[in-house]
Amino acid sequence: MDVQPPVVVLAPQADGGRRVTIRGKRVGTAYTLFDVLDFVHRAGLPADEDRAVDDPELIEWRGGGPYEWNGTT
């Protein structure tokens, strides 16, 4: 059974921002990796900051990985 991670980061938009959803609810737009981690922490999700961005059980990156922020993939 496929289980979707609680955090989904969508592909970069033209302005470089990436929409973020947590548990299916839009929480905002991230413009940096630190913004994503801030959303994760504010949601109270357990995350080791050193590994959170690479944890596929926590974050699903769509349209580019955690280092894609310039509006292109």
Query: What does pTM read for this prediction?
Result: 0.87
What is the C-alpha to C-alpha distance for residues 3 and 24, in angstroms, rounded to an integer? Answer: 13
Tens digit of each residue's pLDDT (9 = 90 or more) over 7-39: 999 999 999 999 999 999 999 999 999 999 999
DSSP structure string for 32-44: SHHHHHHHHHHTT
* Mean pLDDT of the residues in the chain: 89
Q: What is the pLDDT of residue 72?
A: 53
